[in-house]
């Protein structure tokens, strides 16, 4: 488990933090504070970070495979890519929500206009036949 890339103390600390974070994400999903669809990116990246932290030699092999000289540069590159993907994901969700909100507001305005037209049509027609002209016979 020990490697030259990551000192053992730092490796164990990082694993503990990642496992606590993974537990927190799972708890948020179970309590329905975070939807499974929105949390998928968090789950996958946290699991990937946990694997790389548990087996740091994988980072060295990956760095060499993609042509990066220093494994720590691969970490920074992966972090930057992660942030870009996360920001894009949040932007897509916000855009979709904005479109849904706009559509709902338009439908609400149309329904409100229809309701007002129905109320105006009722008021112009007068009270319904046999309706509210006074108290029922025999009570007054």
Digit-coded pLDDT (tens) for 92-121: 989 999 999 999 999 999 999 999 999 998
Digit-coded pLDDT (tens) for 38-56: 788 888 888 988 998 899 8
- pLDDT value for 114: 94
Output the pTM of the full model: 0.62
DSSP assignments along the chain, one per residue: ---SSS-HHHHHHHHHHHHHHHHHHHHHHHTTSS-HHHHHHHHHHHHHHHHHHH-THHHHHHHHHTT-SSHHHHHHHHHHHHHHHHHHHHHHHHHHHHHHHHHHHHHHHHHHHHHHHHHHHHHHH-SPTT-SSSSPTT--
% of residues, the chain, pLDDT over 90: 38
């Amino acid at each position: 488990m020990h490697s030259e890339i990551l000192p053992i103390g730092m490796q164990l600390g990082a694993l503990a933090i990642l496992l606590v974070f993974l537990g927190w994400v799972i708890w948020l999903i179970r309590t329905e504070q975070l939807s499974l669809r929105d949390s998928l990116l968090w789950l996958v990246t946290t699991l990937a970070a946990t694997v790389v932290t548990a087996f740091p030699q994988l980072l060295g092999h990956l760095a060499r495979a993609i042509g990066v000289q220093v494994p720590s540069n691969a970490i920074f590159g992966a972090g930057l890519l992660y942030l870009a993907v996360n920001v894009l994901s949040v932007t897509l969700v916000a855009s979709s929500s904005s479109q849904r909100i706009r559509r709902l507001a338009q439908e609400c305005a149309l329904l409100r206009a229809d309701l007002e037209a129905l109320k105006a049509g009722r008021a112009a027609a007068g009270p319904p036949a046999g309706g509210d002209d006074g108290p029922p016979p025999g009570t007054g």
